[in-house]
Structure 1
Amino acid sequence: MVVKCAGCADGTELPFAFKMAFQPIVDVAEHRVWGYEALVRGPTGESAHSVLSQLTDDQMYRFDQAARVMAIETAGKLFTDPRARLSINFMPNAVYEPRACIQKSLEAARRANFPATNLMFEFTENERMSDPAHVENIVRAYKALGFWTALDDFGAGYAGLGLLARLQPNLIKIDMELLRDIHLSHPKQVIVSGIAAMARELDITVLAEGVENEAELTVLRAAGIALFQGYHFAKPGFMSLPSVRGLERMDVSLAG
């Protein structure tokens, strides 16, 4: 039996409200919506910054737990495709003990009748990790439980090769600055093609996020990337699943 940590038992309410938006992740090879990323928003659709700027250090754990639960419960109401994954951002420093802290998420999935194995937890490190061994433990535990793990902003800041070798996530999301106007930059094309080839050798899925136009998409598809996220396909839908543009031979309104 998993023993809950002290933070898990803390039922204190957060002093601010928030909701969720969902942005599609599309698989252009299979012409379908592969999943959705859950994004924090204010109670009437305000930016994520408007919520996160209110967060204090002592509220971090409660917020991380509450955001996961809201994302899963809302997805349970909105998703119709049993294959669609739900990608949830999490704060590694807000996880005390992975198997204990995941219990509220699993309970939410059961209540919402959402397949727990369709959950993907993504994390980013814009600053050097203070305890990379702790993050490695989280990734290992989540993978053992059947979840996917994703490293966001790969190629930016500290989210680099050393972190990739140590953590071995299921998926990497290439930093959008590497992708912006990639059709106009030979160095970016070489770097991204190298990342895609390296990921294939490691059996890691690659997702290109922040794709804004057909020219970027064409170059990235030529590099062998199949998963995409960005305004070229759809903006996030506030407490809803938005329509998706640019996928042939499918009714995307029914895909997720």
Structure 2
Amino acid sequence: MSDLPTSRVNPAFPVGFMPLAGTSRDCEECGRAERVGFQFDYAYQPIVDVDRQVVFAHEALVRGPAGEGAMTVLSQVHEQNRYRFDQACRVKAIKGASELGIQERISINFLPNAIYKPEVCIRTTLEAARVHSFPLERIIFEVTEGERIEDGPWFAEILREYKRCGFKTAIDDFGAGYAGMKLLADFQPDLIKIDMDLIRNIQADRARQAIVRSLVRLCEEMGIQVIAEGIETPAERDWLHDSGIRLMQGYLFAKPAFRSVAAVAPAAYALAQR
């Protein structure tokens, strides 16, 4: 979602979080969040706990109506439908997880630049969770660090409001984007997901190792759980586990499953004996 254009500044609202034209109409559309002008659906990819050998959560990943890649959907999002799309994503991800019988947490990406007043814009999510009997504490809202957030304190306020409502919060692609340490100074999420570019072949890259070890120590001090994403090999998994990371995501464990729940093979958890 980081490729989406940022809303322009309006002096009536915090920088970077301008309401769309016709805000009152858009607010009324919350109850009809499926109306975005195009069709889309979800695939779900597990995030695993390698110590307990269980699924910790499932990330909801947007797809086309027949399973097409995310960009076929995101390329249709623009200034006029951004708010409705963000609201529709929440409804569809929660509904889909409920229909699939997912008992673990679900992680939903959201568009911070589609939000102008968090306590209002969150109503759709609360209603979807109620209708589909999905506990709020099992919902994680994650935003990619690659989103260009022009007003860090306001973004932190959005995350605080989500946390106050009972949701978990996460920063995706940490180490790859604009926010970085400054965002952590403003707000401490429940989780961060280390960007896959830092993970690739980490067992053989001393610079990446030093960066990841530092992040793990920092998060331990701040009470933040760490997820390593994009894991493709047992060597990556083993090095990360030895460095204190137990929550992981990637093709080694399971690829995203379109409109279904991916199974994790027991062998994927098999850590090397030390």
What secondary structure, in the 3-state scheme, does the structure 1 residue paired with 2:178 have? coil
Equivalent in the alignment of 2:28? 9
Distance 1:89 1:143 in 2: 15
**Alignment pair present for 1:222 and 2:242:** yes
Alpha carbons of 1:150 and 1:127: their partners in 2 closer, same or farther (altered >3 Å)? closer
Confirm or deny that 1:92 pairs with 2:112: yes
Deviation at 1:125, TM superposition (A): 3.4
How big is the shift at 1:39? 0.5
Aligned partner of 2:62 among 9, 23, 40: 40
Secondary structure in 1 matching 2:81? helix
> Aligned partners of 2:49 and 2:166: how far apart in 1?
21
Q: What CA RMSD, in Å, does the superposition of the two structures yield over aligned residues?
A: 1.4
Change (3 A) 1:161 1:233: same
Q: Among residues 138, 148, 171, which one is paired with 2:158 in the alignment?
A: 138
**Residue number in structure 2 paired with 1:232:** 252
| Partner of residue 67, structure 1 | 89
Aligned pair 1:54/2:76, yes or no? yes
Q: Judging changes above 3 Å, is the alpha-carbon distance between structure 1 residues 37 and 43 closer, same or farther for their aligned structure 2 residues?
A: same
**Which deviates the most, 217-226 or 91-100?**
91-100
Q: Which residue of 2 aligns with 1:177?
A: 197
Deviation at 1:31, TM superposition (A): 1.1
Query: Structure 1: any 5+ residue segments left out of the alignment?
Result: 249-256
Give, as a single letter, the amino acid of the residue that structure 2 aligns with 1:79. G
Give the Cα separation in 1 of the matches to 2:94 and 2:27. Answer: 17
Partner of 1:252: none
Establish whether residue 210 from structure 1 lines up as the match of residue 215 from structure 2.
no
Q: Quick check: 2:48–2:248 contact (8 Å CA) kept in 1?
A: yes
Among 41, 44, 51, the residue aligned to 1:29 = 51
1:132 aligned partner, one-letter code: G
| Match of residue 151 from structure 1 | 171
Whole-Å separation in 1 of the counterparts to 2:182 and 2:73? 32
What does the per-residue CA deviation read over 1:22-56, in whole Å, with 9 as the maximum and x for residues that have no partner? 00000011110001000100000000000000111
Alpha-carbon distance in 1 for matches of 2:72, 2:51: 36
Identity of aligned residues (%): 50
Q: What are the ranges of 5 or more consecutive residues in structure 2 without an aligned counterpart?
A: 1-22
Q: Size of the alignment, in residue pairs?
A: 242
* CA shift for structure 1 position 159: 3.3
Confirm or deny that 1:129 pairs with 2:149.
yes
Residues 187-226 of structure 1: CA deviation (Å, up to 9, x unaligned)? 1111101111110010000000000010000110011001
Contact 2:145 2:175 in 1 (8 A): no
Distance apart, 1:128 and its partner CA: 3.7
Cα contact 1:23–1:36 (8 A) shared by 2: yes
Higher mean displacement: 138-147 or 202-211: 138-147
TM-score normalized with structure 1 length: 0.91
The Cα of 1:185 is off from its aligned counterpart by 0.3
1:163-174 correspondence runs (5 A): 163-174=183-194
